[in-house]
């Protein structure tokens, strides 16, 4: 059984391409399903002074015990690249959790600052 995933789009309507990529990426989390039941994924189109500045991707994991594990934001000009980076971070964090650190190390900068995806 796969992990449940809820996707929310802010500032734009989303796309079939993003939904398909999110589904592919969420399959990477299934091997951790003994402790994690699902995730919340938020993708926001960011603008400043009416100019599009990129996308912010937030991924929060949901434990089987109901615990929420928020992960650092990922920001970048390409929403697919930011989405992949967010799931890369989730897999890394879950591997650390399995390695004996129940919550893994604290995120850099307390998790308040987004991680940036470089322009291509």
Query: What residue numbers bound the domain in which 97 lies?
Result: 4-116
> Is the pLDDT score of 106 beyond 70?
no
* CATH at residue 85: 3.30.160.100
Task: Give the tokens for residue 35.
Answer: 């402790």
pLDDT tens figures, 54-91:
999 999 999 999 999 999 999 999 999 999 999 999 99
Quote the number of domains for the chain: 1
pLDDT at 109: 45
What is the residue-averaged pLDDT of the chain? 85
State percent of the chain over pLDDT 70: 80
State the pTM of this model: 0.79
Comparison of pLDDT for 107 and 21, the residue scoring more: 21
């Amino acid at each position: 059984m796969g992990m449940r995933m809820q996707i929310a789009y802010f500032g734009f309507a989303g796309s079939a391409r993003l939904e398909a990529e999110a589904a592919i990426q969420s399959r990477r989390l299934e091997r951790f399903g003994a402790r994690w039941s699902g995730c919340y994924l938020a993708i926001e189109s960011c603008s400043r002074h009416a100019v599009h500045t990129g996308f912010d991707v937030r991924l929060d994991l949901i434990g089987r015990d109901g615990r929420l594990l928020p992960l650092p934001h990922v920001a970048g000009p390409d929403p697919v690249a930011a989405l992949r980076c967010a799931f890369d971070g989730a897999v890394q964090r879950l591997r650390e959790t399995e390695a004996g650190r129940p919550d893994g190390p604290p995120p850099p900068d307390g998790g308040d600052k987004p991680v940036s995806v470089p322009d291509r």
